[in-house]
Amino acid sequence: MRRSYGPQLWFYPLPLVVVGARVREKPTFTPIAWCTPVEDDPPLVLSVIAKEHYILSEREKLSVYSLNFPSEDQIVAADYCGMVSGYTHDKSTVFEVEYGKHGAPLIVGAPLSLECRVRQWLDVGESCWLLVGEVVESYAEETLLREGKPDVSHMKLLAYITKSGEYRALGKVVARARHVGRQFRKE
């Protein structure tokens, strides 16, 4: 029996993305789950970041940042970054860092990193800034690509399950998108 449960933010699954930026001359990292592409060309990504977070403490100066997709092997460090604030804890050495072509700090060993340029800040009057960034470069381990595209099956990427607060590994492939729908009404 299907019931209504009120205005719950039950929204599953979400990605786990670690934002990297230089703040006060040092790299710092903040995981977010509220992050989504909004345009293909140019490639734009929206990140929802609380105004109080250290990573935005020099928001006016922020021009480039990274979106890193950590692997299961990096979960302890990634979660730690979501438990402490840069205001009280220096997170510059939590990950090994390399810098992208445009100057954003990237997490070494993350299967995927996107380097983004700030495009727009949207303030909808709530607790968060909505940051629209343009992806200006992307990085992946060569060995994790297949035919030039990320081969997700080997990346050990994570999904975040909000409310129950779990990180889950991705499961098996169940169908091909924009393909399986052809079977509709044929069965």
Ligand X SMILES: Cc1cc2nc3c(=O)[nH]c(=O)nc-3n(C[C@H](O)[C@H](O)[C@H](O)COP(=O)(O)O)c2cc1C
- Positions that interact with ligand X (CB under 6 A): 16, 28, 30-34, 48-50, 53-55, 79, 82, 84-87, 128, 160
Between 31 and 111, name the residue whose CB sits nearer to ligand X: 31
Minimum gap (Å) between residue 43 Cβ and ligand X:
20
Minimum gap (Å) between residue 17 Cβ and ligand X:
8
Residue 45, beta-bridge partner list: 37, 133
Question: Which structure tokens are listed for 1?
Answer: 């029996």
Between 49 and 64, name the residue whose CB sits nearer to ligand X: 49
Q: Are strands 17-23 and 149-150 parallel, antiparallel or unpaired?
A: unpaired
Minimum gap (Å) between residue 59 Cβ and ligand X:
11
Between 54 and 139, name the residue whose CB sits nearer to ligand X: 54
Between 11 and 63, name the residue whose CB sits nearer to ligand X: 11
CA angle, residues 132, 83, 135, in degrees to nearest 5: 20
Q: How many residues does the chain have?
A: 187
Residue (of 76, 70, 75, 95) closest to 157 by Cα position: 70
Residue (of 56, 59, 50) closest to 127 by Cα position: 50
- Residue nearest ligand X, Cβ-based: 82
Question: Which structure tokens are listed for 119?
Answer: 């495009």
Minimum gap (Å) between residue 116 Cβ and ligand X:
15
